[in-house]
Each structure stands twice: as structure tokens, then as C-alpha cells.
Amino acid sequence: MSRLRAPAIILALFVLDRASKAWVLESLYGRSVAVLPWFRLTYAENTGVAFGMFRDSNLFFLVFGAALVAALLFLRRRIERHGALAAAGLALVLGGALGNIYDRIAYGYVLDFFDFTFFPAVFNVADSGITVGAALLALGMKDEKGK
């Protein structure tokens, strides 16, 4: 992956996350709207982590998130040596983490809004980037023997 692609992915995910959350704050504050029978857009303030675990731990997860970003940036070159898949995964994780860190600093919580009725958690664009990025990172880090 070229030196410009990773920053572009990080920036694109961050901007998409910010734009979606700005729309949610403007249009859905405190509400839930059915889009499909199995999908809602639901305004949710999350001071914990995935699935609402460890509520009211915003400061801890702000510090943890910042430390994780710093560690990943420190390991960036080593990770990128594993190829484009790992590099893209790293960029998605970083973009998502920065989006959620922004929320924790600006609002004191992470704003979530994707609500699938069959899934136990409400999540956001940044969370999606982190999840897909972690999967790509894991796949990209595997060696040729599949270890």
C-alpha cells in the first residue's frame, strides 16, 4: 500500500464517522426511527465499550484508546510489512479509533446509532471500521503457513 493510501483511508473513515454522527445529533437526538422491520437508527450515548459494557468508564477508555492508537502507530511499519491487507486493516482500526476518541473528548461518550434488531448492540461507523479493520489486520498478519 502506498504511503498516501493509509492516511487517506484513516481520514475518509474519520470524516464519514463525523458526518454521520453530526447528522444523528441534528436529526435523531433522543429518538429511534425504524428504517426496515429489522433495522433502526437509534440515538445512543455509550460511556462504555461494545454492548454497553463497563458503562461510565469514559476516561479509562479514552486513555486506553489513545494508548492503543500510539502503540499501533509505533508498530505501523512492522505491520505494513505484512502487505496491503494488514496495512488497510491498520488504517481502518486507526480511523475508527480516532472517531470514537473524538466523541469521548467532545461529548464524554461515544455516539452510536446503527441498531439491528437481531444484534444485541447499537454501534456506529467508527465501530464498523474497527471491526472490519481488525479482521483484515488478523488475516493480513497470518504467515504463508496459515499460523
Q: pLDDT truncated to tens, each residue of the chain (147 aa)?
A: 666 798 899 999 999 999 999 999 999 999 999 999 999 999 999 886 665 655 666 667 678 778 888 888 788 888 888 889 999 999 999 999 999 999 999 999 999 999 999 998 999 999 999 999 999 999 998 854 344
Residue tagged 469521548 (cell numbers)? 104
The overall pTM is greater than 0.95 = no
CA distance 72 to 70: 6
> Which residues are catalytically annotated?
112, 127
Beta strands 39-46; 122-123: pairing state: unpaired
* H or E stretch at 5: helix 5-27
